[in-house]
Amino acid sequence: EGGRIAVSVCGVRKLGERNLLEISVTDTGIGIEKKEAERIFERFVRVGKDSAADMGGTGLGLSIAASILELHKGYIHVGSEIGKGSVFTVGLPILEDVRCEM
């Protein structure tokens, strides 16, 4: 309640021979403890003391997102601080021969 979520395009990052578009999603929520943040991309993992009672969900969303990104040679990472919020960073490979038209 009363928090914020921001989505930002961070730019292009070079990773080896590939270019990746980095996007971050930042929130001002309760944050995630470090020991829990290391596990949130595993299947059926839900974090927080009362996560089962307070929120719906199965704990599959981040696992599925991480798997899809890995299949596309991308990534997802999280940084978080209790009481301050979290930042999820996604790296999406850029295909050199793709053209955008508007």
Query: Is 86 or 101 the better-scoring residue by pLDDT?
Result: 86
Query: Do residues 29 and 86 make contact, with C-beta atoms less than 8 angstroms apart?
Result: yes
Query: How far is it, in rounded angstroms, from Cα 10 to Cα 89?
Result: 9
Q: Residue 2: is its pLDDT beyond 80? A: no
The residue written with tokens 């290391």 in the block is 38
28-74 pLDDT per residue, tens: 999 999 999 989 999 998 887 655 446 678 889 999 999 999 999 99
Query: How far is it, in rounded angstroms, from Cα 11 to Cα 58?
Result: 32
Indicate the pTM of the whole model: 0.81
> In whole numbers, what is the pLDDT of the chain averaged over residues?
87
Q: What is the pLDDT of residue 52?
A: 46
Q: What is the pLDDT of residue 32?
A: 92
Q: Which domains does the chain have, with CATH numbers?
A: 5-93 (3.30.565.10)
What is the DSSP code string of 38-95? TTTTSTT---STTHHHH----S-HHHHHHHHHHHTT-EEEEEEETTTEEEEEEEEEPP
Q: What is the pLDDT of residue 82?
A: 93
Query: Is 42 or 100 the better-scoring residue by pLDDT?
Result: 42
Query: Do residues 59 and 43 make contact, with C-beta atoms less than 8 angstroms apart?
Result: yes
